[in-house]
Amino acid sequence: MTEKDIEKLIEKSLLGELTLEEEESLSRTLVDKPDLLKKWEDLKSIACLAAEAKAVEPPADLTARVLSRLSEAPRSRLAAVREFLFRPRTANIDLVKAFSGNVSRPECSFYYLMGGLYYLVISLILMIGLNKLDPRWAAVTWIKLQPCISLITALWLGAMGVALLRNGQTAIRVAYSGSLALIGFFVLNGIVIHLTAEFPIALVFLFALVGTGIIGGLFLLRIVYNYRKCYAAT
């Protein structure tokens, strides 16, 4: 066995890749090679010394310090939005309970978001449907504005839902006064439609457009009122 072969076996031995046969062969060979035997023993000794080194204990409060710094973790805006939208949330939806007393933050937000979704659908229906109606309808400016009004309402309710989810006192105040304003606006909207349209309008249409808005607004007003009480109690 050449010196190079022995060196190779020593390397394999240190890396823990020596077979039993090779190990026996190496031990036999090294008897006649004191320099290489010394090297082998030195390297094994260093490896043992390092492996036996006592581990250093990290400071006891390290975990607490890491957790307190988590908010500093640099995150992209996209990641923050994605986390906000897709983070699972628990919301027990109980309409009766919400109307009569306790409303949780996610639940209150949920009703506003649902209201927004409802008006988004209404605005789409109006955008598509108005063109196919009697030309007399399309001539009335205020009626032409109804899809936009519904879309703005949808956006406003959606924004309120998100703001309430973030649990701000200001969001509660804005949602409360905004719901009141919404009811007022729907009453006004019904009156303006009635006055500007110079042709008979079926009561069912007026109720669908205005009545649902008023009922929905009253419902949201009650919900946010109850949530405000719960928020103040905490």
Partner 1 sequence: MSQDKDQDIIERVLGGERDAYGTLVDRYKGPIFNLAYRMTGSSQDADDLTQDTFIRAYAALRSFKKGSKFFTWLYTISLNLVRNHLKKGIPLQTLDSYCQVPSREEAYNPEGCAIRQDDVRALNASLYRLPEILREAVVLRFYQGLSFEDIAEASGGSLSSAKMNVYRGLEQLRVLMREERPDQKTG
Q: Does 63 bind partner 1 (CB under 8 A)?
A: yes
| Chosen residue from 75, 144, 194, 229 binding partner 1 by CB under 8 A | 75
User: Based on CB atoms, which residue is closest to partner 1, 16 or 200?
Assistant: 16
User: Based on CB atoms, which residue is closest to partner 1, 38 or 136?
Assistant: 38
User: Based on CB atoms, which residue is closest to partner 1, 31 or 55?
Assistant: 55
How big is the chain by its Cα radius of gyration, in Å? 37
Q: Does 55 bind partner 1 (CB under 8 A)?
A: yes
CA–CA distances in Å: residue 10 to residues 31, 50, 80, 136 = 14, 18, 54, 98
Residues 139-198 contacting partner 1, CB under 8 A:
none
Render the burial of 92-110: b for 16+ CB within 10 Å, e for the rest: eeeeeebeeeebbbbbbbb
**Selection from 160, 80, 54 nearest residue 116 by Cα:** 160
Our CA angle for 41, 30, 22, nearest 5°, is 95
Q: Does 43 bind partner 1 (CB under 8 A)?
A: yes
Q: Does 133 bind partner 1 (CB under 8 A)?
A: no
| Pair of tokens at residue 189 | 């909207």
Are the beta carbons of 100 and 229 closer than 8 angstroms? no
Q: Does 206 bind partner 1 (CB under 8 A)?
A: no
Q: Does 77 bind partner 1 (CB under 8 A)?
A: no
**Selection from 112, 177, 180, 124 nearest residue 150 by Cα:** 124
Site size for partner 1 (CB under 8 A): 39
Nearest distance from residue 77's CB to partner 1, in Å?
A: 13
For partner 1, the binding residues (CB under 8 A) are 11, 14-15, 38-39, 41-47, 49-59, 62-63, 65-67, 69-70, 72-75, 79, 83, 87-89
